Chains A and B, each alone.
Chain A
Amino acid sequence: MSDAALPSTEVETSGRRRFFRAWPPAVLLALAWIACIALVSIFADWLKPYDFMALDLRDRLAEPVFMGGTFRHLLGSDELGRDVLSRLIESVRMSLVIAFLSTLIAAAIGVSLGFLAAHFRGWIEQVILGAIDFMAAIPFLIIALAVLAFFGNTLTLFILLMGMHGWERIARITRGLAIAAKEQGYAAAASEIGASPFRVYGAHILPNIASTLIVAMTLNIPEVILLESGLSFLGLGVQPPLTSLGNMVGYGREYIQTAPWILLSPAVVIILTTLAVSVVGDWLRDRLDPTLR
């Protein structure tokens, strides 16, 4: 009996080992964190204990619970008595929405230009390749600053501007993959039987190269989060009364001596989020497309 039990436990441990090799603990933790902040941003309105703009002038600069404060403001309150936890939840939502939307914009631009270059070749391809080189050569942060200064800053414009970041990488990848895909039988067959180029690229080539594009998009997200929070930190990104993670840190800088908790929690959330998305992105890349390495 005991002899018979042995192999089964061995199978069990090696099964567990195989599970953890496919899903390393770091990746599981990262996915858990991403799920957590995604849920927080979806249910932000229910989770916030207070309105994120509500002032509580009798309880200004209240300490957070872990620094000896009360449960009235779990993560403390700021100079105007606004609840840090509520602002944090609102900021997480704002930063995630910006990162997600602008990555979608970058992907849309990159994929369209990549397909255009692959389809037409010739001078159109040269112009697009030139634009890609140009984007890679310019100091994006500086240009973004200049644009924001003179356009004036609205949230829509800010998201569009963030969407300009990183499209060149996606365009380069798309072009390479689409050129390779065109040589393959399925794309040629689809156009032989009369499918329009839109159909060939959209319905046949795109699904086949999607996994690589998803990896590239995932790796773009932490960069946008860092860019957005950097600009917001400088006071040139998301404008008050709206709030984002970088905004909170920038505001908290003024109170670093007296009330460090104002900037601590958003800073930790930025680090954990960019770390988690990068870990998942690297893991996806290794699993889906090792050639990107």
Chain B
Amino acid sequence: MLGYIASRAFRALVTILLVLTFAFFILNATGDPAILILSADAPPEAIAAFREEWGLNAPLWKQYLGYLWNLAHGELGRSMRDGRDAWAVVSERIPVTLAITIPALIIKLVIGISAGIIAALWRDTWIDRLVMAFSVTGYTVPSFVLGLGLMLVFAVQLGWLPAAGADSWRHAILPIVTLGVAGAAVLARFTRSAMLEVLGQPFIRTGLAKGLVWRAVVIGHAFPNAAIPTLTIAGFMIGSLVAGAVVVESVFAWPGVGRLLVSAVGNRDLMVVQAILLLVTVTMVSANLIVDIVYGFVDPRLRTARGGLARGGT
């Protein structure tokens, strides 16, 4: 088990490093930040001073090593726009985003998984069709259209809820519902097909044949096996807690990380974009890592197959 965890953790680190390297070179090699920020017709002295101040005169590999060095010391650089610490700019937005993504995640998990299970257990009835119709809609309606639709009905037509902004908890309802509904639809579809696949397995028939009641077979044998594919997609959702709301935050003018990213991209604020990229990659990769480790506990077969530990382990 330890070897399995170690190999997964190593791959996670490599992925993070690759994303950072990729982003650094893409972002730095493609445009001159000095010209991007100060505009092309700024006086040459100003551009020279800016380049001097931000260390842009050094060769790219030196800048890259410097970036990694600072990163290792917990420094993500300063915003090129207002000189504030990039991490401070980003981190003050994190709780704002989590305020909508965590409730949405709960909605996704509760509604999505239970709808998927119900659809699978009542396969080919109207309940199943209803759940599948909901799920297909969730797949094909983009979140900004869903969000604007909800806004049109509940804010513009009915006037029950505020349309945009973040002044009170009532402002959070529409973004949470938008995120939750879309995610629940995806999860319902995954859970349903995972359950159907498991329910078709011989060990379910064996359970019934040896006299277990249907409920005991479903809870004791079907759920644990169907949990594995569902875990993957749930892990992906946990990984996107920080950055999964870029579009929805823009729809509802919710001042979270996603909005910051869009405006930083618009402003070409390199350091802030890199800090957000780092944050997003680290959360996604660690969520995947956790899921992989949980897999190892839930499903002993994976430990031996991938981790190279045939017997024993922890």
Q: Please list the residues of chain A having a beta carbon within 8 angstroms of any beta carbon in chain B.
A: 133-134, 137-139, 141-143, 145-152, 222, 226, 229-230, 233-236, 246, 249-250, 253, 256-257, 260, 263, 267, 270-271, 274-275, 278-279
Contact = CB atoms under 8 A, between A and B. Distances in A.
A234 B281 contact: no
Contact of B246 (A141, A148, A229): A141
27 contacts: A134-B18, A137-B15, A137-B288, A138-B284, A139-B240, A143-B23, A145-B246, A146-B23, A146-B27, A146-B277, A149-B265, A229-B144, A230-B142, A233-B144, A249-B144, A250-B144, A256-B156, A256-B163, A257-B156, A260-B156, A270-B142, A274-B140, A274-B141, A275-B140, A278-B136, A278-B139, A278-B140
Contact of A267 (B19, B139, B148, B273): B148
Nearest to A278: B140
Contact of B280 (A142, A271, A275): A142
A232 B151 CA distance: 20
Contacts, number: 117
B151 A256 contact: yes
A137 B15 CA distance: 8
A145 B23 contact: no
B145 A271 contact: yes
B26 A222 contact: no
A151 B23 CA distance: 12
B177 interface: no
Contacts of A151: 26, 30-31
A253 to B, nearest CB: 6
A44 B293 CA distance: 53
A139 B140 contact: no
Size bin of chain B's contact surface:
35 or more
Given A137-B285, A278-B136, A142 B15 contact: no
B136 A275 contact: yes
A142 B279 CA distance: 11
- Considering residues B251, B265, B273, B276, which has the most beta carbons from chain A within 10 angstroms of its beta carbon? B265
Given A150-B31, A279-B136, 4 more contacts: A142-B246, A226-B142, A230-B144, A267-B145
Interface string B132-149: 000011011111110011
Contacts of B250: 233-234
A271 B140 contact: yes
B148 A256 contact: yes
A249 B145 contact: yes
Given A137-B285, A152-B31, A142 B142 contact: no
Contacts of A150: 26-27, 30-31, 36, 268, 270
Contacts of A260: 152, 156
Contacts of B139: 274, 278
B231 interface: no
A232 to B, nearest CB: 10
Interface string B7-31: 0000100010011001100110011
B261 interface: yes
